[in-house]
């Protein structure tokens, strides 16, 4: 099952979700079932690694970190991934407007409520909790489809 996490810049929330989801999958020894990555809807942060405060909270929580190179979502991502998990509902709207999406049900929000943007709130702890809970629930749901 191929999962792409998406936020605005691909330097805070979606890489946090990617690293947390990968860790949850590893802990349950489900790695062979999943391909997990992240992207942004903007190219403003292109090529950058995870934003340092986001890295810091992942390290504090014991989540292994991989180096990333921030990138914007592409049309081929839309076809390749089975689920595109957005952090805020406007990102789903933007994807549906800007790309050809054959099955709009594959684009889902991580949580019922938008994940707070830590770039503006400065509260990486709150964002971590929201993403961690969302990723745990998502994994439980997706396990039923394996
Ligand atoms: P992200 O955070 O979407 O969670 O990666 C942001 C990163 C950069 C900006 C906004 C949000 N920015 O405006 O540059």
The sign of the dihedral angle between the CA atoms of 131, 137, 140, 146 is negative
Ligand 1 pocket residue status of 12, Cβ below 6 Å? yes
Catalytic annotation on 114?
no
Residues 116/126, Cβ–Cβ less than 8 Å: yes
The preferred substitution site among 9, 39, 43, 55 for testing ligand 1, maximizing ligand atoms within 8 Å of CB, is: 9
10 CA → ligand 1 middle, Å: 7
Close Cβ partners of 113 (under 8 Å, ≥ 6 residues apart): 130
Query: Would you give the DSSP letter of residue 73?
Result: -
Ligand 1 pocket residue status of 5, Cβ below 6 Å? no
Catalytic annotation on 7?
yes
100 CA → ligand 1 middle, Å: 24
Query: Whose C-alpha lies nearest to ligand 1, atom 8?
Result: 9
Pairwise CA distance, residues 101 & 52, whole Å:
33
Pairwise CA distance, residues 146 & 133, whole Å:
21
pLDDT tens for the chain, 146 residues: list them: 999 999 999 999 999 999 999 999 999 999 999 999 999 999 999 999 999 999 999 999 999 999 999 999 999 999 999 999 999 999 999 999 999 999 999 999 999 999 999 999 999 999 999 999 999 999 999 999 99
Residue 137: name the closest of 98, 111, 113 by CA. 111
Pairwise CA distance, residues 69 & 71, whole Å:
6
Residue 38: name the closest of 29, 58, 28 by CA. 58
145 CA → ligand 1 middle, Å: 32
114 CA → ligand 1 middle, Å: 14
- Beta strand spans in 8-116 (E): 35-40, 83-86, 107-109
Pairwise CA distance, residues 105 & 98, whole Å:
16
Q: What's the predicted TM-score (pTM) here?
A: 0.98
């Amino acid at each position: 099952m191929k999962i792409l996490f998406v936020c605005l810049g691909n330097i805070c929330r979606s890489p946090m979700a990617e690293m947390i989801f990968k860790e949850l999958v590893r802990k349950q020894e489900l790695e062979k079932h999943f391909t997990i990555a992240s992207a942004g809807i903007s190219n403003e942060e292109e090529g950058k690694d995870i934003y340092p405060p986001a890295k810091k909270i992942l390290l504090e929580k014991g989540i292994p970190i991989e180096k990333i190179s921030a990138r914007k979502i592409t049309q081929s991502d839309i076809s390749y991934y089975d689920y595109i998990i957005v952090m805020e509902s406007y990102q789903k709207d933007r994807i549906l407007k800007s790309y050809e999406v054959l099955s709009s049900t594959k684009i889902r929000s991580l949580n019922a409520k938008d994940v707070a943007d830590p770039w503006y709130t400065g509260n990486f702890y709150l964002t971590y909790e929201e993403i961690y809970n969302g990723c745990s629930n998502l994994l439980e749901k997706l396990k039923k489809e394996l």
